[in-house]
Structure 1
Amino acid sequence: MRVLRPRSLSSLLVAGLLLLTVPLAVAMVQAALQLGRLAQDTTRLVRQGVELAGQTQALSRHLAAYERSTNLYLLLEDPRVLEASRSIRQQIATTTEQLARLPLDREGLAHLEQLRSAVSDSLRSLETGEPADPGRAAMLADRLAAIDEAAREVADHANTLLEVRLQNLEERSAETRRNLLLWLAALVPVALVLGLIFTLGVMRPLRRVDRAITELGRGTFSRPIAISGPSDIEAVGKQLEWLRVRLLELAQEKNRFLRHMSHELKTPLANIREGTDLLLDGAVGAIEPEQREVTDIMRTNALRLQQLIENLLSYSAWQSSVAGLEVGAFPLEAELAASFRAQKLALASRGIRTKAEVEHIMVAADRAKIRLVLDNLLSNAVKFTPEGGTITVRARRLGAEVVIELADTGPGIPPEDRDRIFEAFYTGRMPQTGHLKGSGIGLSIVAEFVTAHGGRVELVEGEFRGAHFRVTIPIQAGEQVREAIRAYA
């Protein structure tokens, strides 16, 4: 949906940051609110506990003073002592009223009411009783005992109430911790999912850009480049598509130029070859040995130049159409033998030995193109192998594939050239031993034809002193060829 697509990569980054920070911000706000409420309740409970403890202690002091005043009045019958008892009773009433204003439950309020009633009853007994009454002291003692019992019940109930509320606060604290952990447990997967969505939203178009650039770097210009995503990424995709079209046009122009130039060169080259053949055959008269040597050099280089032109034509034809594979069954060792026979004179003239370890293998592939692969690899080995050197060829079956290896005892491939030896027209930095420098397309054709068969070619290091190439192709190349053609198309 276009409306949901970010307008730019920067807006996508901002949206991703918001998606990641919003859940964390919600969790932080929720934690702050719960911790704030918990802190308020803790402060309130501490304040109430301090006030309750203070009022309880004050009540205990007043009750102790009231008991002393009552006992003193029983001994002295002094009205001033009775007045002091009334004053203490008023203090007790004030303290109990303050306790009643605290958040006590019904049971606590009932204990306070019992305490006030017991104090009032004892004071009335003092005020109305006769001094000579023998049961008066016993009755007041009972009243004071009731006051002590009521005071203990008030204090015990207050302590119990504080403990219950403290336990409730601890339970709420534990519940708050559990809730925070649950929030985190719920938000972490959400953040991960949002982060994954954000990463995919950013990386998917970037991977497409990277894949498009890689294909352009490999010379694959036939597949259109269409990249969807933020507007700036789409703009990059359009620029890459423009570059692809331009490179395709340049490649087509190059191929046309190669075809035209190759055809133009073939006619005068054929005349040169015919002339040298006539001279060597003595058709125009006998020639001196020195003249024959020069003529032979001319003929040899004409043949090599013809091979280069044939390579150019083959490369141009391959670049124009990769679907022209004619797959058929043939014995691989026959093509290897034919390639070595074609190089027999060059091998003999330079004293190059050959070592072959070839199994009997029937392959289904394009015979002409496999032959050209073998010719180019062997020609490359002959070119760089010094006189008296050795060229080793191996061919074996490995599962559903055939592995062909060709190695020489030449100087090898310099490290700075190894990444580019399969590029078209790259001739490297190593000086060649022949009279004519190569065109730099032999190994490129090898790589193109092997890839078209669904195989691969690689440079192997370590076993031989010189260059060591390994070609791996499927024995039954039908489906692999079709996949390779679809990849190029």
Structure 2
Amino acid sequence: MQQWIKNLSIYHLSIKTLTLMGFGLVALPLVFAFLYSANQVNQLSQQGTSAIFNVAELVENNRQISQTLIRLERFASQYLVLKEQELLKQYTEQKHELKTVLAREFKSYNDEQFSILVQQFDGKVKEIDQLIQTPSANSVNLELLQSRFKQLALVNQKLSLHSNQIINQQANNMVASGDQVKKTMMFSLLVIPMTLLIAGVFIVLITRPLKELINKIKLLEQGNFQLPITVEGSTEIEEIADALELMRRRLHALELQKSSFIRHISHELKTPLAAIREGTELLYDNSVGDLNNDQQEVTNIIRTSVTRLQRLIEDLLDFNIVLDSTSLQDAEVINLNQEIEQALSLWALDIKRKQLTVIKQVDDISLQCNSKQLSVILDNILSNAIKFSPNKGSITIKAWIEQQRLQLTITDQGVGIEPSLYNKIFDAFYQGPTAHNSQIKSSGLGLTIVKELLMRLNGTITIESIASTSTTFKISLPKTQLMTPTKIHHLEKS
């Protein structure tokens, strides 16, 4: 799916073009569905209006026909009895009105049954007309005339029934049309999933390269300058990727220069420093002759400063590990318990000198990590704990898995840290209050190195401190750093 999206020609269009195209493709089905539905509703409305007028016209015409027939029968009967010309005239007028109503009512209906009934109606009216206007009309029986009008009333009744059938048919047509519009509206709802699908495709087209850019930027944030930055996508995304790639190259070059400079300057400093330290030790031990008190004091100052300078150079080399990302790429399977034991062994003399008790509660956990990287983290945290622990105090080390994250805590029984200093102690070269009777000298880079290394591992470090009681450094690493037994076995075989 992802490769298919990348192969689309529109995948490389600009974000502006993609946005406009996506909006257009999403809006087009909705507009079409809206216009089609509006047209269906308009037709239904016109059909309803026409049906209402037709029904009203049929009802009115049927009423007029019935009333005209009543008047026609009355005038014909009166004329037959009274023989007044005025009655004959009114009879003739009512007959013409009846024909007019019949023509007006049924001219708009192309209905065969209506035509038959109208012809029958006309035939009956002609029969009545002949009975009245023939010379023998004087002898016509009134009863015969009334029978003709009864026959005409039956035809009128059939006309009314057929009109009602037409009205019912139009009502049924309205219901059917309404159902059809309802179905059309329901069918139009299918446009919504289609528009959502189109919107989803364009969201992927726009956001996918942005997510790739974010991942590349995170790699740069972690100090990984080796992998080239190439992102396929819109023209703007590719321009940003090109700018990031140029920045990556320059940062990589600067990092290599910086690392090389620190390595060389540290080496150049350590060589004469070794000679100075050796000479100072000879003077301090009176190997070249006895020193007076003032000379002994000066020699001790020099010896202490040289030791601190050596520690500073070693911390600079450790800090160079942070700056040089090329030295952190090689990962291996590491047993956390063994790493902690090795870190403790480096400080065994200081632990023994201060008579410290080390309490370990470490689960059997393995990680895929750079050994030097992890040892620098543990070394700096342990040195800090030993430095601030009182004589005959205890250091507690705990490690466990919680929510697929490694949780590592190192707790000492030192004087504690003020909450206002929680962030400052991670600043480069910052040194907190000096520990009482501590022979471990600090350069102020240790915790800075720890934080930088953990940041590159997507880990965190936090502090929990109780004044004059204890200080706990808590390290948390994501599950990607942890190793399952199956994966460990696979790596060992490879």
**Normalised-by-shorter TM-score class:** 0.7 to 0.9
CA contact (8 A) 2:416 2:465 kept: no
Partner residue, 1:14: 20
Moved more, 18-27 or 161-170: 161-170
Q: Distance in 2 between matches of 1:419 and 1:160?
A: 95
Q: Which amino acid aligns with 1:341?
A: A
Distance 1:161 1:313 in 2: 102
Pairs within 5 Å for 1:63-78: 63-78=69-84
Distance (Å, rounded) in 2 between the aligned partners of 1:173 and 1:167 = 10
Q: Contact 1:356–1:394 at 8 Å: present in 2 too?
A: yes
8 Å contact from structure 1 (residues 457, 471) kept in 2: yes
**What residue ranges of structure 2 are gaps of 5+ in the alignment?**
1-6
| Other-structure match for 2:180 | 175
Please give the residue correspondences for 1:445-460 in structure 2 after superposition, counting only pairs within 5 Å: 448=453, 458-459=461-462
Q: Distance in 2 between the 1:357 and 1:79 partners?
A: 135
Please point out which of 101, 108, 129 is paired with 2:114.
108
Instruction: State the secondary structure of the residue aligned to 1:321.
Output: helix
Q: Could you give the per-residue CA deviations for residues 233-263 of structure 1, whole angstroms, max 9, x where no partner exists?
A: 2111111111111111111111011011101
Calculate the aligned-residue CA RMSD, in Å: 3.8
TM-score, length-normalised on structure 1?
0.83
Q: Contact 1:67/1:144 (CA < 8 Å) preserved in 2?
A: yes
Q: Which amino acid aligns with 2:270?
A: K
Using a 3 Å threshold, how does the CA distance of structure 1 residues 390 and 293 change in structure 2: closer, same or farther?
Answer: farther
Task: Provide the secondary structure at the position in 1 that maps to 2:136.
Answer: coil
Shifted more, 4-13 versus 250-259: the winner is 4-13
Q: Name which of 135, 144, 147 aligns with 1:142.
A: 147
Any idea what SS the aligned residue of 2:291 has? coil
Contact kept? 1:417, 1:429, Cα under 8 Å: no
Q: Which amino acid aligns with 1:26?
A: F
Report how far residue 309 of structure 1 moved: 1.9
Deviation at 1:9, TM superposition (A): 1.3
Aligned to 1:356: 359
What is the percentage of aligned positions where both structures have the same residue? 23
Residue 394 in structure 1 maps to residue 397 in structure 2: yes
Distance 1:371 1:217, change over 3 A: closer
Q: Secondary structure at the match of 2:230?
A: coil
2:169 is matched with: 164
Q: CA separation of 1:414/1:214 partners in 2, compared to 1, >3 Å: closer, same or farther? A: farther
Q: Is the 8 A contact 1:301 1:436 kept in 2?
A: no
Separation (CA, whole Å) in 2 of partners of 1:420 and 1:478: 40
1:109 counterpart letter in structure 2: S
Distance change in 2, residues 1:77/1:429 (3 Å) = farther
**Count of aligned pairs between the two proteins:** 470
Cα distance per residue 1:250-283 (max 9 Å; x no partner): 1111101101110111012112211221122211
Q: Give the match's secondary structure for 1:287.
A: coil
Mapping for residues 302-451 of structure 1, pairs under 5 Å: 302-316=306-320, 319-323=325-329, 331=338, 334-344=341-351, 348=354, 353-358=356-361, 371-383=375-387, 385=388, 390=393, 392-395=395-398, 404-408=408-412, 409-412=414-417, 418=423, 421=426, 426-427=427-428, 431-433=432-434, 438=443, 440=445, 443-444=448-449, 448=453
CA distance in 2, matches of 1:308, 1:86: 133
Aligned to 1:245: 249
Give the 3 Å change call, closer, same or farther, for CA 410–25 of structure 1 in structure 2. farther
Unaligned runs of at least 5 residues, structure 1: 484-489
**Residue 65 of structure 2 is aligned to residue 62 of structure 1:** no
Alpha-carbon distance in 1 for matches of 2:148, 2:94: 16
Question: SS where residue 102 of structure 1 aligns?
Answer: coil
2:104 is the alignment partner of 1:98: yes
Q: CA deviation at 1:157?
A: 1.9
Partner of 2:474: 469
2:234 equivalent among 213, 219, 230: 230
Closer/same/farther in 2, CA of residues 177 and 420 from structure 1, 3 Å limit: farther
Given the superposition, is the C-alpha separation of residues 468 and 396 from structure 1 closer, same or farther in structure 2, using an over 3 Å criterion? Answer: closer
Structure 1 window deviating more from structure 2 (249-258 vs 442-451): it is 442-451
| CA deviation map 1:209-228 (0-9, x unaligned) | 22222222222211111122
Q: Which residue of 2 aligns with 1:117?
A: 123
Please state if 1:53 is matched with 2:56.
no
Q: Is the 8 A contact 2:358 2:394 kept in 1?
A: yes
Counterpart of 2:397 in 1: which secondary structure?
Answer: strand
- AA aligned to 2:103 is E
Q: TM-score by structure 2 length?
A: 0.82
Alpha-carbon distance in structure 2 between the residues aligned to 1:462 and 1:481: 40
Amino acid of the structure 1 residue aligned with 2:152: I
Stretch of structure 1 that moved more, 431-440 or 302-311: 431-440
